[in-house]
């Protein structure tokens, strides 16, 4: 990551203003290096301090809090090749990095993974943000790690933080509108570098302040505040939080199911779920994903043999194409052009967009200033008079919003049109505007479906599974005793970065060289539908498997059968169908969301039900006794019991049943 940030320099050496952003980039790179170097010492220190106690707490130092606050800022900044939203923003990755900073990357990754599950179906489109997953990840992990909290307790606390974080996002969306007007003023003076400056510096300075200050404060004071609050609460309510940690993931999984749990892909969800429970969670999610890939191929070859493009639409489209302009209208750079763009101009423009598309995201123009910033290398090459430059800058400072990767086809097409216009072709502002405003919507529709609701959640589910899906070898999964695997975060970052950048670069270059023809060819070929269907098969498998690992509902009460006291869950339900209740909860949540129940309302209801269900209706509140019989009684005194198995009733002389404290 530091390598990427450091790489900003040479690419942006054109102007004074750019040098400023390069300086910010260098500072960021330095911070990343510090972040990477710091944990080595911390790790060493914690190794000396001996084996971790069941609850070991960490005091967050000022430097660590500052690094966490910088990390949170970076997760929302454009400086990581525009990939922050797909990487540092996600609690899985945030958890790993907070773990590095605080000296326990494995536990950090595990906590981040648990916090991430409710955000699996997370989508932000058109300036709308349901929750700030990044605050949940960065501060949620800090609090949990520093207080020695069980990952499942962190889930409920982190979700509250996620709602709080939307204040920062919406504040920024409102304030950044002002900077768009500052950019207008620079455009009026035909100041290309000024427009670029206004897209990056004021908005990022503001964002840094509003991110760093609250997160720094929360990282320093949050752990103690949460510990104090938890200590003040009766034990059963804390158990309730743990139960909620097993229930809330159902919402994230069901939100994601809204996109892929459809039609002939539905059975694959159950295959994934049953595969996990039947093997007692002893297989890795990578195995499930590989199996999913194979099944996706079979599904596409044998189940979905129908034409991927609806016949009606395809026929209409073909007719429309025949009736309209000849294929030559696609803006293809012809050799007769006097002023030509170089490949370097195109790459520079693409890189500027990839970095800074959302640098000044605001309600008024959304990505408008980002679009103008990306066009600066093109404008420099194509236009020389002040009037032309002013007109071009103003033309591209208007409202714009698309998905910033697949949607790059719009930019490529527009650049080709600008090139032709500069060479005297009769292309007026209206022609360019209509391509921008007409294409940005549909391309965002396809792009968001591809990147945000298909590729990201599937890869995240895979990463989370690797991070937290340690084989427990028991029918009832438990996160309490699991060790996190930082590889889950690392593999996710590598995969998602490659896929997202590849889509963005291809769309940009193809949009330039083939323009409209590329758009219609891709859409007509049905390739996107095939990808979505195949991804849907694999996604359902992985999601099903993930539900089996992260959604936990355990009945606490006992029944007396033939004079023997038996736990309803362990003795009656699990032998029939392990995890049946959790599966039922997931399907019910999906059904409720389809009935348009508000996910936030559902979340609050689930939280309240979890806490109420932890109330000791049938016995004592709690005991600190190490006597297995007493512990068993605690375990069976409520409606639902926390994330560990109650085990069997202790026989008089038998060794104590496994009953880890939450």
Partner 1 sequence: MSFRLVRIDDRLIHGQVVAGWLRALGAKRIVIVDDATARDEFLREVLMLAAPQGVPVEVHGVAEGAARCLELASSPEPVIVLARSPRTILGLRQAGVPIEVVDLGGMGAGPGRRRLHKTISVSPEELGELRELEKMGTRVEIQIVADDRPIPFRSLDSNP
Give the nearer residue to partner 1 in terms of CB position, either 281 or 589.
Answer: 589
**Sign of CA pseudo-dihedral 144, 145, 146, 148:** positive
- Which lies closer to partner 1 via its Cβ, residue 62 or residue 320? 320
Residue 604 Cα distances to 220, 235, 244, 247, 607, angstroms:
27, 20, 10, 11, 5
Asked if 372 contacts 360 with a C-beta cutoff of 8 angstroms, the reply is no
Contacts of 626 (CB under 8 A, 6+ apart): none
Give the C-alpha separation, 376 to 14, whole Å: 11
Among 384, 434, 625, 626, binds partner 1 (CB under 8 A): 434
Q: Which of 24, 88, 351, 443 binds partner 1 (CB under 8 A)?
A: 443
SS3 call for 555: strand
Q: Residue 480: which of 107, 134, 203, 146 has the closest Cα? A: 107
Among 484, 599, 642, 649, binds partner 1 (CB under 8 A): 599
Tokens of 627: 């006597």
Residue 121-160 contact track with partner 1, rule CB under 8 A, x = bound: --x-xxxx-x------------------------------
Tell me how far apart the alpha carbons of residues 411 and 440 are, in angstroms, rounded to a whole number. 9
Measured in whole angstroms, how far is the alpha carbon of residue 172 from the centre of its chain?
20
User: What burial class does residue 160 get, using C-beta atoms within 10 Å of its C-beta: 0-12 exposed, 13-18 middle, 19+ buried?
Assistant: middle
Closest CA to 534 of 307, 304, 310: 304
Q: How far is the CB of 20 from partner 1 (least distance, A)?
A: 28
Quick one: which of 206, 208, 259, 615 contacts partner 1 (CB under 8 A)?
A: 259
Q: Which two structure tokens, joined as six digits, stand for 257? A: 């199911």
Smaller CB distance to partner 1: residue 344 or 441?
A: 441
**Can you name the residues that pair with 564 across neighbouring β-strands?**
561
For helices 105-116 and 133-146, angle between their N-to-C axes, nearest 10 degrees: 140
**From 64, 405, 449, 569, residue interacting with partner 1 (rule: CB under 8 A):** 449
Give the 3-state secondary structure of residue 640.
strand
From CA 443, how far away is CA 370, in angstroms rounded? 17
Q: How many other C-beta atoms lie within 10 A of the C-beta of residue 227?
A: 17
How many CB atoms are closer than 10 A to CB 508? 27
Residue 524 sits in the site that holds partner 1 (CB under 8 A):
yes
* Cα 273 to Cα 542: distance, rounded to the nearest angstrom: 8
DSSP state letters, 514-540: HTHHHHHHHHHHTHHHHHHHHHHHHHH
Task: Say if CB 395 and CB 184 are below 8 A apart.
Answer: no
- Site residues for partner 1, 366-385, by CB under 8 A, read 366
| 596 is a contact residue toward partner 1 (CB under 8 A) | yes
Q: 464-503: which residues touch partner 1 (CB under 8 A)?
A: none
Stretch that binds partner 1, among 432-440, 459-467, 548-556, 642-650 (CB under 8 A): 432-440
Nearer to partner 1, 1 or 500 (CB): 500
Decide whether 42 or 446 has the Cβ nearer to partner 1.
446
- Residue among 34 and 531 whose Cβ is closer to partner 1: 531
Stretch that binds partner 1, among 67-75, 311-319, 540-548, 550-558 (CB under 8 A): 311-319
Contacts (CB under 8 A) with partner 1, residues 177-216:
177
Minimum distance, C-beta of residue 177 to partner 1, in the bound complex (Å): 8
447 binds partner 1 (CB under 8 A): yes
Contact positions with partner 1 (CB under 8 A) in 45-104: none
Closest CA to 270 of 574, 590, 593, 547: 547
437 interacts with partner 1 by CB under 8 A: yes
The site string for partner 1 over 384-413 (x = CB under 8 A, - otherwise) reads --------------xx-xxx----------
Is residue 453 at the binding interface for partner 1, with CB under 8 A as the rule? yes
Taking CB under 8 A as the criterion, the residue among 19, 20, 258, 380 binding partner 1 is 258
Q: Which residue has the tokens 């609460």?
A: 233
264 part of the interface to partner 1, by CB under 8 A:
no
Part of the chain binding partner 1 (CB under 8 A), chosen from 189-197, 315-323, 420-428, 615-623:
315-323
555 - beta bridge partners?
640
DSSP letter, residue 659: -
Site size for partner 1, by CB under 8 A?
59
DSSP single-letter state for residue 304: -
Closest to partner 1 by CB, 377 vs 599, is 599
Q: Which helix (H) or strand (E) holds 565?
A: strand 564-567
| Binds partner 1 by CB under 8 A, chosen from 452, 554, 567, 569 | 452
Q: Which of residues 177 and 506 has its CB atom nearest to partner 1 in the complex? A: 177
Positions in 280-309 near partner 1 (CB under 8 A): 308-309
Residue from 287, 600, 629, 651 in contact with partner 1 (CB under 8 A):
600
439 scored as a contact of partner 1 (CB under 8 A): yes
Q: Which is nearer to partner 1, 331 or 468 (CB)?
A: 331
Interacting residues with partner 1 between 530 and 569 (CB under 8 A): 532
Q: Which of 234, 310, 424, 620 binds partner 1 (CB under 8 A)?
A: 310
Q: In 10 A of CB 235, how many CB atoms?
A: 16
Compute the least distance from the CB of residue 314 to partner 1, in Å. Answer: 8
C-beta of 18 vs 606, nearer to partner 1: 606
- Please pick, from the candidates 234, 327, 441, 620, the single residue that binds partner 1 as defined by CB under 8 A: 441
- The Cα–Cα gap between 570 and 558 comes to 9
What is the smallest separation between the CB atom of 317 and partner 1, expressed in angstroms? Answer: 5
**Which listed residue (52, 234, 424, 438) binds partner 1 by CB under 8 A?**
438
Strands (E), 285-410: none
Residues in contact with partner 1 by the rule CB under 8 A: 123, 125-128, 130, 173, 177, 258-259, 308-310, 312-313, 316-317, 320-321, 323-325, 363-366, 398-399, 401-403, 434, 437-449, 452-453, 516, 519-520, 523-524, 529, 532, 594, 596, 598-600
């Amino acid at each position: 990551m530091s390598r990427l940030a450091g790489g900003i320099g040479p690419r942006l050496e054109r102007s004074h203003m750019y040098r400023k952003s390069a300086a910010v980039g260098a500072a960021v790179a330095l911070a990343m290096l510090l972040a990477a170097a710091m944990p080595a010492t911390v790790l060493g220190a914690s190794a000396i301090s001996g084996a971790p106690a069941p609850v070991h707490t960490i005091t967050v130092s000022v430097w660590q809090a500052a690094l966490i606050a910088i990390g949170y800022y970076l997760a929302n900044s454009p400086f990581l090749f525009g990939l922050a939203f797909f990487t540092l923003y996600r609690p899985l990755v945030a958890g790993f990095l907070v773990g590095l900073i605080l000296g326990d990357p494995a536990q950090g990754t595990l906590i981040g993974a648990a916090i991430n599950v409710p955000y699996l179906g997370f989508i932000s489109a058109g300036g709308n943000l349901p929750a700030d997953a990044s605050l949940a990840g960065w501060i949620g992990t800090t609090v949990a790690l520093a207080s020695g909290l069980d990952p499942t307790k962190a889930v409920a606390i982190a979700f509250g933080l996620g709602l709080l974080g939307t204040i920062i996002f919406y504040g920024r969306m409102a304030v950044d509108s002002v900077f768009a007007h500052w950019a207008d003023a620079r455009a009026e003076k035909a100041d290309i570098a000024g427009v670029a400056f206004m897209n990056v510096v004021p908005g990022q300075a503001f964002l840094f302040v509003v991110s760093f200050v609250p997160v720094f404060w929360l990282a320093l004071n949050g752990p103690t505040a949460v510990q104090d609050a938890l200590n003040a609460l009766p034990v059963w309510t804390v158990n309730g939080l743990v139960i909620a940690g097993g229930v809330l993931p159902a919402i994230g999984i069901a939100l994601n199911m809204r996109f892929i749990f459809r039609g002939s892909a539905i059975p694959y969800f159950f295959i994934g779920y049953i595969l996990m429970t039947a093997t007692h969670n002893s297989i890795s999610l990578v195995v499930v994903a590989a199996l999913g890939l194979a099944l996706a191929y079979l599904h596409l070859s044998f189940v979905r043999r129908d034409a991927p493009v609806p016949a009606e639409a395809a026929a209409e489209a073909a007719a429309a194409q025949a009736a309209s302009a000849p294929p030559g209208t696609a803006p293809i750079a012809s050799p007769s052009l006097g002023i030509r763009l170089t490949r370097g101009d195109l790459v520079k423009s693409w890189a500027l967009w990839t970095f800074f598309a959302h640098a000044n995201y605001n309600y008024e123009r959304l990505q408008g200033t980002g679009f103008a910033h990306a066009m600066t290398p093109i404008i420099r090459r194509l236009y020389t008079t002040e009037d032309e430059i002013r007109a071009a800058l103003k033309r591209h400072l208007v409202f714009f919003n698309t998905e910033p990767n697949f949607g790059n086809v719009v930019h490529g097409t527009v650049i080709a049109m600008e090139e032709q216009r500069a060479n005297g072709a009769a292309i007026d502002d209206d022609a360019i505007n209509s391509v921008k405003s007409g294409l940005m919507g549909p391309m965002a529709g396809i792009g968001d479906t591809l990147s945000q609701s298909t590729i990201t959640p599937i890869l995240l589910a895979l990463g989370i599974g690797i991070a937290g899906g340690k084989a427990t070898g028991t029918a009832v999964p438990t996160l309490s005793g699991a060790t996190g695997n930082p590889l889950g975060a690392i593999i996710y970052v590598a995969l998602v970065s490659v896929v997202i950048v590849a889509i963005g670069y291809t769309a940009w270059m193809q949009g330039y060289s083939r323009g409209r023809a590329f758009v219609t060819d891709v859409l007509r070929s049905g390739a996107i539908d095939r990808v979505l269907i195949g991804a849907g098969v694999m996604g359902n498998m992985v999601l099903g498997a993930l539900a089996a690992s992260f959604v936990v509902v355990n009945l606490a009460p006992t029944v007396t059968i033939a004079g023997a006291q038996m736990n309803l869950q362990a003795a009656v339900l699990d032998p029939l169908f392990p995890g049946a209740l959790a599966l039922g909860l997931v399907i019910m949540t999906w059904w409720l969301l389809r009935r348009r129940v508000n996910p936030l309302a559902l979340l609050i209801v689930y939280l309240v039900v979890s806490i109420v269900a932890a109330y000791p209706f049938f016995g004592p509140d709690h005991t600190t006794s190490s006597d297995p019989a007493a512990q068993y009684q605690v375990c069976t005194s409520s409606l639902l019991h926390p994330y560990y198995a109650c085990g069997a009733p202790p026989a008089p002389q038998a060794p104590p049943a496994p009953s880890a404290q939450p």
